[in-house]
Amino acid sequence: MSAPQPLLSRAFRDGVVAALIVAGLGFPVIAYRAEPDFNNVLTLNARWPLFLTFCALGFALRFLLTLWTARPRPLRAVKAPEAPVRRPWLAPLGLAALIAYPLLMPVLLGPQAALKWVDTFGVQILLYVLLGWGLNIAVGLAGLLDLGYAAFYAVGAYAYALLAPLTGLSFWALLPVSGLFAALWGFCIGFPVLRLRGDYLAIVTLAFAEIVRVVLVNWDVVTHGEQGLFGFPPISFFGLPFIPGPRGFAAHFGLKFAAVHKLIFLYFVVLALALVANFVSIRLRRLPLGRAWEALREDEIACRALGLDTANIKLTAFALGAFFAGIAGCLFALRQGVVSPSSFTFNESATILAIVVLGGRGSQWGVALAAALIVGASELLRQLDFLKMIFGPDFDPAQYRMLLVGLAMVAMMNFRPRGIVSTRQPTITLPAAGVRP
Amino acid sequence: MSSPRWIADPLLRVDRLTMRFGGLVAVNDVSFAVGRGDVTALIGPNGAGKTTLFNCLTGFYKPTAGRIAFSPSGLRDESRIEALTASSRRFWRDGGAGLFLLERMPDHEIAKKARVARTFQNIRLFPGMSALENLIIAQHVALTPASGYGFFGLLGLPIYRRAEEKAVAKAEQWLERISLRARANDPAGELPYGDQRRLEIARAMCAEPSLLCLDEPAAGLNNHESAELARLLREIRDRDRVSLLLIEHDMSVVMAISDHIVVLDYGQKIADGAPNDVREDPAVIAAYLGVEEADEAAAEAELERRPPQ
Amino acid sequence: MEIFLQQLINGVTLGSIYGLIAIGYTMVFGIIGMVNFAHGDVFMLSAFIALLLLLLLTQMLGLPAGLAFVPVLFGSMCLTALWNFVIERVAYRRLRGSFRLAPLISAIGMSTFLSNFVTVTQGPNNKSIPPLLNKIIPLTSGGDYDVTLSYKQILIVAVTAVLLAAFWFVVQKTSLGRAQRACEQDAKMAALLGVDVNRTISLTFVIGAALAAVAGSLFLLQYGVVKSSDGFVPGVKAFTAAVLGGIGSLPGAVLGGLAIGLVETLWGQYFSSDYKDVAAFSLLAVTLIFMPSGLLGRPDVEKV
């Protein structure tokens, strides 16, 4: 063994190696960009400053990491597991805040400026929370990696967009119908695939979702292809449409018409349904079915040895997850006013999966938090105008969002595989011996 | 001498069972019976086909050939077994305890309907769930109808609450019997190895089996824990009146508690009888004396299986 | 009949490319039992690297395209191998003892990252190059439809055949291949016997990436166009090929690749090209559900 190198020179060497690796990775993908010129012939634009910045970053990060890991550390006693802190006030307080939020926004910002806040940071986040909670049943509780969740979402959305003009039923009636349609799909898809091993199941759900998407793109007669469906009836307040004029919602209640009313109502509908999903998940977790889901995630063979019909149990998790996706799809259709296949790509499935993975598989709080984080972060990217100055005018935050979603999934699996909220509360506990009479 | 229980009153009978994997014959034409209320031990050197046989009994493998007849109330009526074999049905459950042909049934149905419970060589608890939850899940089959397949429970109806209270009481009783009452709320995966073994047995017992199959329950236990285990198994036989079938390498455990021993070697049965007869059987002695090295390997394999402490 | 023959040739060409990608899936699955979901995107990335290198050599150095192709192929292989080496170190190595779906989730994240990384750095649009190596050999003439065989197609099939032979040799005869097979059987035991498991796994990823880079370069040569979302669908199809051939089996991967290539081109010709992806995805589902051990794979006995 050679004598230990001085720390600084070791860190420097590590940094140089890292910079060289980054250079290898970045050349030529970062260093050059191929763009068609005015003759439509691809030409290279060199981006050496950007390339060198990345190399320097690689050097700096690795340099600091080596110094950091080598710092003298006092021996620490292993921390005893802390008793879970109970915060009974948290849930009611959070609920009150959620109810107050859309009502306060128009007052604070005016009805026009509030539109975006209620829609993007309200309805959109809640939709993702609902989707996250739905997928959480399959992925988090039952341990079934469903990579085709967006397909059920699509089924719900198309079910509403197609049935609403056809049947003339209100969205209250079509909401459960959309959910049931999606659940039926979940059932049909789930039936053949559920005896597969975990990773194969994931791939097959992905394949089915792609099939659904390709059919939606190509079945012009029904789905209108890439263009999608629009012009279906919008949401109404128990029959009162959100329109200006004497027969609208605003006139009926003596309010001044504002577009935000519709969104506020939609917000409350989504909130209510998300709460229902939450209630059902939490309750089911304490019932034989929910416990069986978790047991299935932990060890399928042991489940079978205990007489659990694993196929049925998986099917219920799959179908219930799909049901909530269908509901979310219906609400999505009402929010967008247009339903097209581009909203239900693999990226969408990946985003919802990332929400579940980030939040901690099985944790309701974590999933809600992660949904807010991912939607919030991508909106933040959109807000940051100076990024446009760095990356050029064609900077599209949506691409960066998916880039970050991907990185976040890798990072979570490597550093916190159980998610942000990683403690699992048992579904039932015994009091200490002797406490009970 | 009166005829032994496994002949006079068997509850499980394996007839000419064969299991092939491709070219490999893991179990070759094996027949034996398990007496009602007995502790039957299945022994043999490593690779003798014991676990494969277990997996056939519990439905995890479909045997290539042979019959496995099972009835909790005893298999005395030969003509009924023949009639069921001739029919295309998997089991008869007319009143009484029923008659089952296990080789025709899928694994979960064997556990649920025939009530044959099992443990695994490399413990299969639900490691992230608490010890109590492990025991509650074992009562899934009984609890599910009471929960109205989810609906009553979702609504919080008392019918489910009462059923759950009963399940918890039973689980608590078992936790006390295996001295794990104090750790009821800890994740099963964090318990010491010996406790996990006992918890797995308790979990199988919570499923209310009529036959309990244990795959090397004493593997990796120290002397004190082995003695404790032997006491628990005898208690299960005498107090709970459950018949036991176990695979075991630890001869002190086998000799201490077995009523009946079946010896396998290279997939074939080489001996079958009361412990004292088997101990003196020349074929058994040959099979065991010839495998000193294999035993060493087995001991090492067991060390390997122990989770890091 | 002529059309059928032509589609047969096209199908074999496409199938060779799928086969080369499929080898990467099958080797990684064999050695660490993981579906390397990001492999399709590694393939796409390699096509981009090849594209940029080609432009670099032809535009900056003024090399003729035909001459440039060899260094482009080699450069793309090296750089893609470096990428996959880093990906394995960063995204998968730590997860070997984690819960069973962790590597797959990480791979999905990596796949999402790679495709969006290329979108961000190179833009989301199609990148097309002028066609290369345009000579064709007419096989039939005089009929209403002339069957042709292009030099490109010959090159693609020949390269696939040579590489398959080479890697077959590596896996069967060299110490690397022995180490790989040892890790497949029992990584812990292999480590105890002095096999450097980490190095073996790294090498597997490097080889898989190099083959994907060959596929990427040949893809660019054949179709002359690539875009950042091109990793997903070919990736899934190549995975289908690996499963269809029997995952873990090298000849199976190529066989499966040819089968998928043929199904896709023939389906596109005789049924509907809009639904050709549906054919491939259905084949994937049907294979996984009804014959998960594939054509040449070993049956998977569940360990209880």
* A271 pLDDT above the threshold of 70: yes
Question: Do the Cβ atoms of A34 and C60 come within 8 Å?
Answer: no
What chain A residue is nearest to B138 in terms of C-alpha separation? A306
Question: At which residue do the structure tokens 């090159």 appear?
Answer: C155
pLDDT in tens, C120-174: 888 888 888 877 777 777 777 766 677 788 888 888 889 888 888 888 888 778 8
Position C60 scores a pLDDT of: 81
| A236 contacts A164 by C-beta, under 8 angstroms | no
The rounded distance, in Å, linking the Cα atoms of A236 and A213 is: 29
Q: What is the mean pLDDT of residues B288-299?
A: 56
Q: State the ipTM, two decimals.
A: 0.87
Position A92 scores a pLDDT of: 86
Q: Identify the band that residue A1 occupies on the pLDDT scale cut at 50, 70 and 90.
A: very low
Q: Report yes or no: A195 at the B interface, CB cutoff 8 Å.
A: no
DSSP-assigned letter for residue A85? P
Q: How far is B27 from chain A (nearest CA, A)?
A: 21
* C300 pLDDT above the threshold of 80: no
DSSP-assigned letter for residue A122? I
Domain boundaries, chain A: 7-69, 96-415
- Chain B residues whose beta carbon lies within 8 Å of the beta carbon of residue A302: 120, 124-126
Q: Report yes or no: A434 at the B interface, CB cutoff 8 Å.
A: no
Please report the domains of chain B, with CATH numbers, ordered by start residue. 1-115+245-309 (3.40.50.300)
Position A5 scores a pLDDT of: 67
Q: What is the mean pLDDT of residues C229-251?
A: 88
| B212 contacts B205 by C-beta, under 8 angstroms | yes
Q: Report yes or no: A42 at the C interface, CB cutoff 8 Å.
A: yes
Taking only Cα atoms into account, the Rg of chain A, rounded to an integer number of angstroms, comes to 26
Q: How far is B160 from chain A (nearest CA, A)?
A: 9
Beta strand pairing call for A338-339 and B116-118: unpaired
What chain A residue is nearest to B146 in terms of C-alpha separation? A288
Q: What domain count does chain C have? A: 1
* A384 pLDDT above the threshold of 80: no
Length of chain C: 304
* A80 pLDDT above the threshold of 60: no
- Evaluate whether residue C176 is within a structural domain: yes
Position A433 scores a pLDDT of: 63
In this complex, the chains that touch A, judged by 3 or more CB pairs closer than 8 A, are B, C
- Maximum CA extent, chain B: 65
C-alpha separations of A294 from A141, A289, B191, B201, C230 in Å: 5, 9, 19, 20, 37
Q: How far is C293 from chain B (nearest CA, A)?
A: 14
Q: What is the mean pLDDT of residues A97-121?
A: 83
DSSP-assigned letter for residue B265? E
Position C159 scores a pLDDT of: 87
* A90 pLDDT above the threshold of 60: yes
C-alpha separations of C266 from A96, A197, B138, C233, C275 in Å: 60, 31, 53, 18, 12
C-alpha separations of B28 from A190, B10, B14, B16, B265 in Å: 38, 22, 12, 8, 10
Q: Report yes or no: B51 at the C interface, CB cutoff 8 Å.
A: yes
Question: Which residues touch C2 (CB under 8 Å, ≥6 apart)?
Answer: C140, C143, C144, C145, C146, C147
- Chain B residues whose beta carbon lies within 8 Å of the beta carbon of residue C302: 60
The rounded distance, in Å, linking the Cα atoms of A422 and C1 is: 62
Q: Which two tokens stand for residue C122?
A: 């190179």
Q: How far is C300 from chain A (nearest CA, A)?
A: 11
Taking only Cα atoms into account, the Rg of chain B, rounded to an integer number of angstroms, comes to 20
Q: Identify the band that residue A125 occupies on the pLDDT scale cut at 50, 70 and 90.
A: very high
| C160 contacts C20 by C-beta, under 8 angstroms | yes
Position A81 scores a pLDDT of: 55
- Chain C residues whose beta carbon lies within 8 Å of the beta carbon of residue B127: none
- Evaluate whether residue C152 is within a structural domain: yes
Higher local confidence (pLDDT), C230 or C97: C230
- Evaluate whether residue C251 is within a structural domain: no
| A136 contacts A324 by C-beta, under 8 angstroms | no
Q: Identify the band that residue B309 occupies on the pLDDT scale cut at 50, 70 and 90.
A: very low
Nearest to C45, CA basis, from A405, A26, A41, A414: A26
C-alpha separations of B67 from B19, B22, B30, B36, B37 in Å: 11, 20, 10, 18, 21
Position A107 scores a pLDDT of: 82
Q: Give residue C19's domain range.
A: 2-231
Position A77 scores a pLDDT of: 63
Q: Identify the band that residue B298 occupies on the pLDDT scale cut at 50, 70 and 90.
A: low
- Evaluate whether residue C109 is within a structural domain: yes
- State percent of chain A over pLDDT 70: 90
Please report which helix (H) or strand (E) contains residue B116, including its range.
Answer: strand B116-118
For an interface test with B, the pick among A194, A306, A315, A323 (most B C-beta atoms closer than 10 Å) comes out as: A306
The rounded distance, in Å, linking the Cα atoms of A380 and A377 is: 5
Q: Which of A265-274, A387-396, B34-43, C243-252 has the lowest mean pLDDT?
A: A387-396
Q: Which two tokens stand for residue C160?
A: 């696939």
- Chain C residues whose beta carbon lies within 8 Å of the beta carbon of residue A207: 236, 281-282, 284-285
Q: Which of A66-75, B194-203, C6-15 has the lowest mean pLDDT?
A: A66-75
What chain B residue is nearest to C300 in terms of C-alpha separation? B21
- Chain A residues whose beta carbon lies within 8 Å of the beta carbon of residue B107: 304-305
Q: What is the mean pLDDT of residues C291-297?
A: 79
Position A200 scores a pLDDT of: 86
- Evaluate whether residue C257 is within a structural domain: no
Q: Which of A70-84, A295-309, C198-212 has the lowest mean pLDDT?
A: A70-84
pLDDT in tens, C18-56: 999 999 999 888 888 888 999 999 999 999 999 999 999
A288-298 and A310-336 are packed helices; what angle lies between their axes, rounded to 10 degrees? 100
Position B308 scores a pLDDT of: 44
Higher local confidence (pLDDT), A404 or B289: A404
* A204 pLDDT above the threshold of 60: yes
The one-letter amino acid at B10 = P
Question: At which residue do the structure tokens 């394996």 appear?
Answer: B14
| B287 contacts B263 by C-beta, under 8 angstroms | yes
Long-range CB contacts for residues B178-184, cutoff 8 Å, separation at least 24:
B178/B202, B178/B232, B180/B131, B181/A430, B181/A433, B182/A432, B182/A433, B183/B131, B184/A429, B184/A430, B184/B130, B184/B131, B184/B132
Q: What is the mean pLDDT of residues C53-67?
A: 84
Q: Taking the CB of residue B54, how many other CB atoms lie within 10 A of it?
A: 24
Dihedral pair phi/psi, residue B177, rounded to 5°: -65, -30
* A108 pLDDT above the threshold of 70: yes
pLDDT in tens, B39-96: 999 998 888 889 999 999 999 999 999 999 999 888 888 888 888 888 888 888 876 6
Of the candidates B21, B22, B120, the beta carbon closest to that of C304 is on B120
| C19 contacts C218 by C-beta, under 8 angstroms | no
Q: Report yes or no: A32 at the C interface, CB cutoff 8 Å.
A: yes
CA angle A151, A157, A161 (to 5 degrees): 140
- Evaluate whether residue C124 is within a structural domain: yes
| C208 contacts C171 by C-beta, under 8 angstroms | no
Q: What is the mean pLDDT of residues A354-378?
A: 86
Question: Do the Cβ atoms of C304 and B55 come within 8 Å?
Answer: yes
Interface of B with A in 184-223 (CB under 8 A): 184-185, 187, 203-204, 207
- Evaluate whether residue C244 is within a structural domain: no
| B242 contacts B210 by C-beta, under 8 angstroms | yes
- Evaluate whether residue C253 is within a structural domain: no
| B10 contacts B33 by C-beta, under 8 angstroms | yes
Position C183 scores a pLDDT of: 81
- Chain C residues whose beta carbon lies within 8 Å of the beta carbon of residue A416: none
C-alpha separations of B294 from B28, B46, B47, B286 in Å: 21, 7, 10, 13
